[in-house]
Amino acid sequence: MRDVLGQSGERGFPLYRQMERGSLECVRDRHGWSRLGSRLGGTYLYAGGYFHTAGGVAANKIARWDGAVWSPLQTGMNGNVTALAWDGSNLYAGGDFTAAGGVLAQTIAKWDGAAWSPLQTGMAGNVNALALDGTSLFAGGNFTDAGGLPSNYIARWNGTNWSALGTGTNYPVLALAFVRNSSGQGLYAGGAFSVAGNKPSYHIARWTVCVPPTVTTVTKISDPFRLKIDTAIPLTEGWKVYIAGQSEPWTQITVKSPTQFVIKKAGDFFKKDGSETVIRIVNSDGCDYSFAYNRKAKTWRPL
């Protein structure tokens, strides 16, 4: 389960679920409940919203379905829940609440299966959306402070601390989605903003998550001096190679494959006296990888 968002009650919105290994399904609409138990497969369903009961059981704003009955998560929240995210072990909830399970938690909290806990001092404003990338939790909302640090409407939690995503956006973030594919990975944000990271971005923007093109082998292949460089991931469009001592990217490059390229005619920059020369591979988003090459010893090391 990743997200379950909705509202319980006769005048509420549909209630949705998204299971760990399944797709988004409507499990309650304006006319009644559909079957749940036969589809759960032993996992729990978590629901958050504006309700006070779930299946006739008292549950303040958040509840758990085990395939047969609803149950509360301790005393729940003292305010509405508008976002949920599951990392495989913990449930994260965001909203406009200030307490979770009786514990002070400013608009965001973590449920570990037994108790609620805050994420530092939380946010200075509502949380509207949550997303996970496998290592970090991203939160978007109406806040301009996360954990006591300036964070304009979007922030990242690394398990210990909050940090801003650059300069953020100029107005609230309403939706988040993390996407990973063959061309890279990034966090997509939607909302009321017109600027993201000081760039015009009308209501939608992408925050690129850096995946450095780790070098696996460096080989001197012939004279005049040339280096063959292999990387662990494909170098997509936008990557440039810099050699120490040059402010402009090196243009004498032959691309052999998506994960292999050759630096040509760089002999003057690779000294024969045993000293190292630094090479940087960098893209337009500021993601980079550096290594040092020793021409005399024919060895290299990552930096």
Secondary structure in 3-state letters for 218-264: EEEEECCCEEEEEECCCCCCCCEEEECCCCCCCCCEEEEECCEEEEC
Domain boundary among 208, 242, 273: 208
Higher-pLDDT residue of 262 and 181 is 262
Mean pLDDT of 46-55: 94
Residues 222 and 250 in one domain: yes
Number of other residues whose CB lies within 10 A of the CB of residue 241: 19
Assign 267 a pLDDT band (cuts: 50, 70, 90): low
pLDDT at 26: 41
Residues 219 and 202 in one domain: no
pTM: 0.65
Name the residue type at position 64.
R
Residues 243 and 119 in one domain: no
Higher-pLDDT residue of 90 and 32 is 90
Rounded to 5°, the CA angle 98-101-106 comes to 20
Query: In what order do the strands lie in the sheet containing 137-141?
Result: 127-132, 137-141, 154-157, 162-164
Residues 35 and 140 in one domain: yes
Q: What is the span of the domain harbouring residue 190?
A: 15-208
Residues 235 and 298 in one domain: yes
What's the rounded Cα separation, in Å, for the pair 139 and 107? 11
Residues 53 and 33 in one domain: yes
* Token pair belonging to 31: 């006319």
Mean pLDDT of 32-51: 64
Residues 121 and 260 in one domain: no
Mean pLDDT of 118-142: 94
Q: Kindly tell me if the per-residue pLDDT of 236 is higher than 80.
A: no
Number of domains in the chain: 2
Measure CA 189 to chain center: 11
Domain-located, residue 3: no
Mean pLDDT of 122-127: 96
Domain-located, residue 269: yes
Domain-located, residue 44: yes
Higher-pLDDT residue of 147 and 245 is 147
* 242: alpha, beta or left? (left if phi > 0; alpha if psi -120 to 50): beta
Q: Is the dihedral of CA 45, 49, 55, 58 positive or negative?
A: positive
pLDDT at 248: 80
Residues 185 and 221 in one domain: no
| CATH code for the domain in which residue 242 is found | 2.60.40
Query: In what order do the strands lie in the sheet containing 276-282?
Result: 240-243, 276-282, 288-294, 299-302
Higher-pLDDT residue of 227 and 64 is 64
Least confident of 11-20, 202-211, 279-288: 11-20
* Token pair belonging to 85: 């995210």
Residues 28 and 177 in one domain: yes
pLDDT at 221: 77
